[in-house]
Amino acid sequence: MTPAAPPDAPFTRPRHAGVGYLKLLRRLHAVKRPTTYLEIGTAAGKTLALARCASIAIDPRFRLGRDVRQGGAGGKPARHLFEMTSDSFFAARSPSALFGRPVDLAFIDGMHHFEFALRDVMNVEAHCRPDSLVVLHDCLPVDAHMARRDPRDRSGAAEAHYP
């Protein structure tokens, strides 16, 4: 058994088994070959850079660390960056109108509370076709601490034991 980390030290959580999310998204783009891609929770742009199609990125505070406008070989035919919450975006904008067609692939990595994620799924789904794909990130907590409403709450973290 691994000893518990001191309360002020970083601690590790069990990892989900399987393929990492960047590798999975890369595969989905390669297999599905979407013509439109929408992403909620862009942060530094790693996931957005995978898209080589018309793209919409929504994030209340972009921290773009790379040129996501290129998206690799061939670049993106269109890109729309919206620095706002997803609720504000969907209240004022229509992804299918911006694209001129429905969303083919969406990646939701916004607020990790069920009510926000559910609203994001419902808002995105309204702009999808039956064969569109919506991917959610960080929706299955690996432990009780990860499931807390406030991830900065470290109470009980020192008592956590992981194999």
Note down the domain range covering 114: 35-136
How many other C-beta atoms can be found within 10 angstroms of the C-beta atom of residue 76? 19
Q: What residues have CB less than 8 Å from 38, skipping those under 6 apart?
A: 55, 56, 58, 95, 103, 105, 106, 107, 124, 127
What is residue 69's three-state secondary structure? coil
Q: Token pair 């919506």 is at which residue? A: 134
Residue 155 lies inside a defined structural domain of this protein: no
Q: How far apart are CA 77 and CA 55, in angstroms?
A: 8
pLDDT at 73: 44
Domain-located, residue 126 = yes
Predicted pLDDT at 18: 80
Q: In tens digits, what is the pLDDT along the chain, a chain of 163 residues?
A: 444 544 444 556 666 678 888 999 999 999 999 999 999 999 889 999 999 999 999 999 998 876 664 544 457 888 999 999 999 999 999 999 999 999 999 999 987 777 889 999 999 999 999 999 999 987 776 777 666 767 666 665 444 443 3
Q: How many domains does the chain have?
A: 1
Identity at 75, one-letter amino acid code: G
- Let me know if residue 153 belongs to a domain: no
Query: Is residue 60 domain-resident?
Result: yes
What pLDDT sits at residue 115? 86
